[in-house]
């Protein structure tokens, strides 16, 4: 008994999730033979054919790391391809989810090959990539395990912490996710792959901040500022003495850089100074509240926020 149109499409997507690209292609061709003008089938065939074409380029990479990395680096080109064929508003989100699982499962295979060597099992970068691939392939528990291992070897890595925040959010652990995202965006927003984060919590925050008109370079720096103002990065902790000392030193350094900028002397990364400083001011105020500090430091810091960005100040105080 031959399968109907919808069954062929559904089975093709299941094959993709299992990494069976050629089987999925055959099923989509069968679906097309039933309805030559079905828009989703045509779309799925175009997308899968694009990736199968990329797979043919794997022979150019002699080792497993290069092959796994190759898949991950193609997503930007794939986004351009989707725009070119008119993919809008995730109209075929089931197809795109299946494609994503297919690609990440292919990359995962190569990274797991590397982890078979015990010498690689303490490499945080490899563990991070493996965790990302598990997340992309839909195996959240495995992703959590690899990312937690990566964090053991590199505790203050913003890329690892942001991925841990993402997987916690996807698994419904929202309090842990808020803590991890807040830490990650404090330590190094520039090292966070925003395009690779999948949880609704961070996507909605990212899109809302982006709508405010910030450029790509500034976006990651402003996310923790508005995330704090809007109550998304709401789970806070008291800083250790060493951390507080580093925070105050960082604030002094950024204040000096901003002062140089204001005097008319250009410096690299000017547009990033203000959000970085505001983020640190927020951390300092939060710590004052945690410690019930009565020295007046909180009030002094609030005045500094008001001086460098009155709009942020009004939102923060409201």
Provide long-range contacts, Cβ within 8 A and 24+ apart, for 5-12.
5/31, 5/34, 5/35, 5/38, 5/41, 8/34, 9/40, 9/41, 9/44, 12/44, 12/98
Q: What span, in angstroms and rounded, lies between the C-alpha atoms of 173 and 168? A: 5
Treating both helix axes as pointing N-terminal to C-terminal, what angle do 93-115 and 64-73 enclose, rounded to 10 degrees? 160
Tens of pLDDT along the chain (318 residues) come to 467 999 999 999 999 999 999 999 999 999 999 999 999 999 999 999 999 999 999 989 989 999 999 999 999 899 999 989 886 656 799 999 999 999 999 999 999 999 999 999 999 999 999 999 999 999 999 999 999 999 999 999 999 999 999 999 999 999 999 999 999 999 999 999 998 999 999 999 999 999 999 988 899 999 999 999 999 999 998 899 999 999 999 999 999 999 888 776 555 446 899 999 999 999 999 999 999 988 999 999 999 999 999 999 999 988
Residues 6+ apart with CB under 8 A from 200: 169
Q: Which two tokens stand for residue 51?
A: 């990736």
| List of domains in the chain | 1-86+93-101 (no CATH), 117-235 (1.25.40), 241-317 (no CATH)
Distances (CA, A) of 80 to 87, 91, 137, 164, 194: 10, 16, 22, 28, 17
Distances (CA, A) of 3 to 8, 11, 23, 31: 6, 10, 14, 9
Q: Phi-psi category of 20—alpha, beta or left, where left has phi over 0 and alpha has psi -120 to 50?
A: beta
What is the Cα Rg of the chain in Å? 23
Q: What span, in angstroms and rounded, lies between the C-alpha atoms of 274 and 285? A: 16
């Amino acid at each position: 008994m031959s399968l109907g149109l919808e069954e062929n499409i559904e089975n093709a997507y299941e094959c993709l999730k299992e990494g069976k690209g050629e089987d999925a292609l055959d099923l989509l061709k069968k679906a097309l033979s039933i309805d030559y003008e079905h828009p989703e089938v045509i779309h799925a065939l175009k997308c899968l054919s694009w990736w199968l074409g990329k797979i043919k380029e794997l022979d150019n990479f002699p080792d497993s790391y290069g092959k796994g990395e190759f898949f991950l680096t193609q997503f930007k080109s794939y986004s351009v391809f989707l725009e070119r064929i008119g993919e809008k508003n995730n109209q075929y989100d089931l197809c795109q989810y299946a494609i994503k699982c297919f690609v990440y499962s292919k990359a995962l295979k190569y990274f797991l090959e590397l982890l078979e060597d015990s010498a690689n099992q303490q490499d945080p970068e490899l563990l991070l990539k493996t965790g990302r691939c598990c997340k992309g392939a839909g195996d959240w528990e495995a992703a959590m395990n690899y990312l937690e291992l990566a964090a053991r070897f590199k505790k203050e890595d913003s890329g690892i912490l942001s991925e841990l925040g993402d997987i916690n959010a996807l698994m419904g652990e929202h309090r842990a996710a808020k803590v991890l995202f807040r830490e990650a965006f404090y330590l190094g927003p520039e090292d966070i792959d925003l395009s690779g984060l999948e949880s609704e919590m961070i996507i909605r925050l990212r899109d809302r901040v982006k709508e405010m008109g910030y450029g790509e370079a500034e976006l990651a720096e402003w996310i923790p500022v508005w995330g704090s103002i809007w109550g998304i990065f709401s789970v806070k902790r008291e800083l250790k003495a060493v951390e507080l000392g580093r925070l105050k030193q960082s604030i002094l350094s950024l204040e000096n850089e901003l002062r140089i900028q204001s005097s008319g002397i250009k410096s690299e990364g000017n547009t990033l100074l203000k959000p970085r400083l505001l983020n640190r001011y927020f951390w300092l105020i939060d710590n004052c509240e945690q410690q019930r500090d009565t020295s007046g430091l909180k009030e002094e810091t609030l005045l500094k926020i008001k001086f460098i960005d009155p709009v942020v100040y009004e939102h923060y105080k409201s």
